[in-house]
Amino acid sequence: MRTVYAAGLGIGDDHPPRIMGVLNVSEESPYKPSVFDDPADAAAYVDRELVDQGADIVDVGLESANKRFDVLSAEQELDRLDTAIDTIASVSGDAVFSIETRYHEVAEKALQNGFDMVNDICGFADPKMPEVCEEYDVAVAKMASPPDLTRPGAIEAVDDIYDALQMNGLTDKTIVDPAFGGWSEEKTLADDRETFHRLREFRGLGQPILVSINRKNFLREVAGRSTEAALPVSLAATSMAVERGAHVIRTHDVAETRDAALIGKQFSRRRVRDDELGVEELDVTTRGDAMRHLDRVGGERKYSAESVTRVVELRNLSERERTKLTSTAGDAGAIMTGDNAAALVIGTHGAFEQIAQTIPPEFDRLTAVFVELSEL
């Protein structure tokens, strides 16, 4: 996993989770407490509500990316950028300043006037964006999006997110964002939940991960909460996201999110690393995770079936079932061990697939179990 430095701020597995607070100079943005048109008032908000509360990064938005609003042109964003530039010049606290935009012209002017990084909500749909970020040697958050400057985040299938993040390449300082939220009519809450389930998979790109899940609908629906009452579900998801490998959390609730992120980091699994030898233990829990890493290093996808080991406990086996499963598991390269009351079967996806395929038809309830296990 690459470490990315944003104006000296380390982002990656070896660093604490970073909190990205939000400031908007866009009157149409829905979260009104973060919206300002006066630089002095905006700077006071950044110091009081973001930096003093624990924000490492301040992300300044020039327009709302909500699909209900017309997209501003680069010229219109540039008109608003002056307010953002005046704001960050007046902030007394120490933070990395990120400009949220989709246009390379806006990014370049911001970087020339005090901004430290870019948050590209259209994921390099502007092909000159990575060139600008490389020229100025800055970190850039890249949100999964189609190659269309008018449709940020509008990926219609979870399986397409990975390819979208690779559109027009990755810079050495790219942070990937899988784009949670209702960016298109086609995207469902179930899609967001599947993306969250598969969050570890995006580590296969080898770049730090940013997530923006603060009070999002796919979390609120689970608990039946309004936006105003959704902070607890956001904090629970924040801890889970960090434990699954996220490095930057974008939020309006800075202090609370910081605490939740630190808990997630504290209880993340330990991964063995040795930089001198180039050793990194990968966080692989599903075949999908394994496939992404195999793709990255040019490996063969067929080995994904041998990359994850599962353990299943079985009770209530008949003597006949126990005898047959013992021999079938052994032939498949799995281990079956235990007493007459219970048994553990330990094996890879490939072993479980072989068990499911070779166990005789009369043991159909065993077949059903191992088919399900091999598909997870």
Q: What span, in angstroms and rounded, lies between the C-alpha atoms of 93 and 74?
A: 29
Is 81 within 8 Å of 41 (Cβ atoms)? no
- If you average pLDDT over every residue of the chain, what do you get? 92
Q: Which strands make up the sheet holding 335-338, listed edge to edge?
A: 309-315, 342-348, 335-338
Q: Is 264 helix (H, G, I), strand (E, B) or coil?
A: helix
pLDDT score at 31: 58
Sketch the domain layout of the chain as residue ranges.
4-268, 280-307, 309-375
DSSP 174-194: EEEE---S--SSS--HHHHHH
219-258 pLDDT, tens digit each: 999 999 999 999 999 999 999 999 999 999 999 999 999 9
Q: Parallel, antiparallel, or unpaired for β 248-251 and 18-24?
A: parallel
Q: What span, in angstroms and rounded, lies between the C-alpha atoms of 280 and 286?
A: 18
- pLDDT of 276 strictly over 90: no
150-198 pLDDT, tens digit each: 888 889 889 999 999 999 999 999 999 999 987 777 789 999 999 999 9
Q: What is the CATH number of domain 4-268?
A: 3.20.20.20
pTM of the model: 0.91
